[in-house]
Amino acid sequence: MKIGIIGNPGSGKSSIFKSLTGIKEEHRESMSIGVVEISDERVEQLHSLYPEKKKVYSRIDILDEGIFDAGNEKIRTADAYLLIIGAFFGEEPHTVWENIKSDMIVADQDIVERRLKRLEKEHKKENEKEKSLLMEVLDVLEKENRLIDSEIIESEILKGYNFLTFKKVFAVINIKEGQEENNQIYKSENIGIPSLVFKGKLEADLQYLDESERKEYMELYGMKESAIARLVNTLYSEIGLITFFTVGKDEVRAWRLKDGSNASQAAGGIHSDMERGFIKAEVISIDELLKAGGEKEAKEMGLIRLVGKDYCVKDGDILKIRFA
Ligand SMILES: Nc1nc2c(ncn2[C@@H]2O[C@H](COP(=O)(O)OP(=O)(O)O)[C@@H](O)[C@H]2O)c(=O)[nH]1
Ligand SMILES: [Mg+2]
């Protein structure tokens, strides 16, 4: 999953990038992408049963491209966006979002119009389906709506365009030390998109401390969770993501999955061969396994179930895929 940081110049994009990734300016020369491991205590718990194996966490890529430019191809490849709002110098969240939203709509319109022109020129019969879909898209955009808020069904054709308005945007309200956190104007009902309040500069400065010092400071400032932990919680609940686990030959590993996915889709997230050749999956929840005290015990107690490809995977499931 790739998250793109966007926002006006000086809103604190790079500070937030630092607070999320821990990557400092002096190392940023060639690094506008930060890879963050998502800490999950269930990985440690599972690992305690298999201490000889490696731990692998799921990851998020965070992209800070400097300035936000709707035409920037790299920023377009993100799966979702964080819109940084410089509330520390008075940016008003709703206004900033409305402006960015218009920019995104215009940029998408431009893509559709150019593509339609190409298709017109080609005069091919097989283009008709794409053309009518794009006309539908244009209609949504001309009414100043985002594609994500429209009735247009998620179409494979549309995915290829990387439309900006097809992706979720989260507002990150960047406030300074001492500024009121619970201001009504920071609430998602007021802005129109889910929002989070960060003290960007402070949290970025915490990255210069070692872990124990950082914990002390976080307590001192009344911060319960790190910036990245809060972001991950919001992303997972708003996008509808869950975590399942595997115990492989060499590693215990956490995987991200869209909530509501079945066992064969989960297998596909690991490897396409596993989805294609899916036979059955062995399933046990991590809680059950920990309670049983180990795989052998769980087997003896009959806690490991054999399920087919339609089994709906739950958060915290451990899966072993059988495939041919
Ligand atoms: N006081 C204060 N200054 C901030 C905060 N966040 C960023 N800044 C400052 O604003 C300036 C621009 O921040 P930067 O992260 O580079 O913004 P960018 O242009 O969006 O990448 C820098 O001088 C930061 O130190 C904040 O929360 N409080
Ligand atoms: Mg910057």
**Is the confidence at residue 161, as pLDDT, over 80?**
yes
Helices (H), 123-179: 128-142, 156-159
Residue 199 CA: nearest ligand 1 atom is 27
Q: What are phi and psi of 245, to 5 degrees?
A: -130, 155
Percent of the chain residues past pLDDT 70, beyond the cut: 98
Residue 29 — pLDDT band, cuts 50, 70, 90?
low
Assess if residue 135 is contained within a domain. Answer: yes
Ligand 2 mean position, distance from CA 191 (Å): 23
- The predicted pLDDT at position 171 comes to 98
Out of 38-42, 71-75, 93-97, 187-191, least confident range: 71-75
Ligand 1 mean position, distance from CA 9 (Å): 9
Does 221 share its domain with 280?
no
Q: Give the pair of three-digit tokens for residue 114.
A: 């150019």
Does 245 share its domain with 225?
no
Q: Is 9 in the pocket of ligand 1 (CB under 6 A)?
A: yes
Ligand lying closest to the C-alpha of residue 178: 1
Does 221 share its domain with 79?
yes
Assess if residue 45 is contained within a domain. Answer: no
Separation of first and last alpha carbons in the chain: 28
Assess if residue 48 is contained within a domain. Answer: no
Q: What is the pLDDT of residues 65-87, one digit of tens each?
A: 877 787 788 888 999 999 999 99
**Is the confidence at residue 147, as pLDDT, over 80?**
yes
Q: The domain spanning residue 191 has which CATH number?
A: 3.40.50.300
- The predicted pLDDT at position 52 comes to 97
Residue 200 CA: nearest ligand 1 atom is 27
Give the predicted TM-score (pTM) of the model. Answer: 0.91
- Crossing angle for the helix pair 93-122 and 128-142, nearest 10 degrees? 150
Q: Is 165 in the pocket of ligand 1 (CB under 6 A)?
A: no
Q: The domain spanning residue 162 has which CATH number?
A: 1.10.150.300
**Is the confidence at residue 123, as pLDDT, over 90?**
no
**Is the confidence at residue 319, as pLDDT, over 90?**
yes
Rg (CA), the chain: 23
Ligand 1 mean position, distance from CA 199 (Å): 10
Q: Whose CA is nearest to atom 12 of ligand 1?
A: 10
Q: What is the largest CA-CA distance in the chain?
A: 67
DSSP characters for 11-36? SSHHHHHHHHH---GGG-TT-SEEEE
What's the domain range around 296? Answer: 241-323
Q: Give the pair of three-digit tokens for residue 215.
A: 């914990």
Paired sense of beta strands 305-307 and 278-285, if any:
antiparallel
Out of 30-44, 86-100, 163-177, least confident range: 30-44
Q: Whose CA is nearest to atom 1 of ligand 1?
A: 176
Domain endpoint, select from 137, 166, 195? 166
Domain endpoint, select from 150, 166, 182? 166
Q: Is 7 in the pocket of ligand 1 (CB under 6 A)?
A: yes
Q: Give the pair of three-digit tokens for residue 86.
A: 């410089």
26 Cβ contact list (under 8 Å, min separation 6): none
CA dist 77 → 2, 16, 155, 225 (Å): 8, 20, 17, 29
The chain-wide mean pLDDT, for the chain, equals 93
Q: Check residues 263 and 223 and name the one with the higher pLDDT.
A: 263
Does 117 share its domain with 230?
no
Assess if residue 212 is contained within a domain. Answer: yes
Order of all β-strands in the sheet with 317-323: 54-56, 251-258, 241-247, 317-323, 278-285, 305-307
Q: What is the pLDDT of residues 255-309, one digit of tens each?
A: 999 999 999 999 999 999 999 999 999 999 999 999 999 999 999 999 999 999 9
How many whole angstroms separate alpha carbon 256 and alpha carbon 235?
A: 12
- The predicted pLDDT at position 158 comes to 82
Assess if residue 49 is contained within a domain. Answer: no
Give yes or no for a contact between 5 and 16, defined as CB atoms under 8 angstroms apart: yes
DSSP characters for 65-116? -SS--TT-HHHHT-SEEEEEE-GGGT--HHHHHHHHHHHHHHHHHHHHHHHH
Ligand 1 mean position, distance from CA 26 (Å): 16
Report how many domains make up the chain: 3
Mutation test residue for ligand 1: of 8, 11, 15, 96, the one with most atoms within 8 Å of CB: 15
- The predicted pLDDT at position 74 comes to 87
Q: Whose CA is nearest to atom 28 of ligand 1?
A: 176
- The predicted pLDDT at position 151 comes to 81
Assess if residue 43 is contained within a domain. Answer: no
| Per-residue buried b or exposed e for 40-67, using 16+ beta carbons within 10 Å of the residue's own CB | bebbeebbebbeebeebebebbbbbbee
Does 11 share its domain with 87?
yes
41 Cβ contact list (under 8 Å, min separation 6): none
Does 113 share its domain with 149?
yes
Does 71 share its domain with 219?
yes
How many whole angstroms separate alpha carbon 127 and alpha carbon 119?
A: 7
Q: What is the pLDDT of residues 31-60, one digit of tens each?
A: 688 999 999 999 999 999 999 999 999 999
Ligand 2 mean position, distance from CA 220 (Å): 28
Does 116 share its domain with 222?
no
Mean pLDDT, residues 59-64: 94
- The predicted pLDDT at position 30 comes to 61
The total number of residues written for the chain in this structure: 324
Q: What is the pLDDT of residues 225-255, one digit of tens each?
A: 989 999 999 999 999 999 999 999 999 999 9
Domain endpoint, select from 132, 166, 200? 166
Q: Is 11 in the pocket of ligand 1 (CB under 6 A)?
A: yes
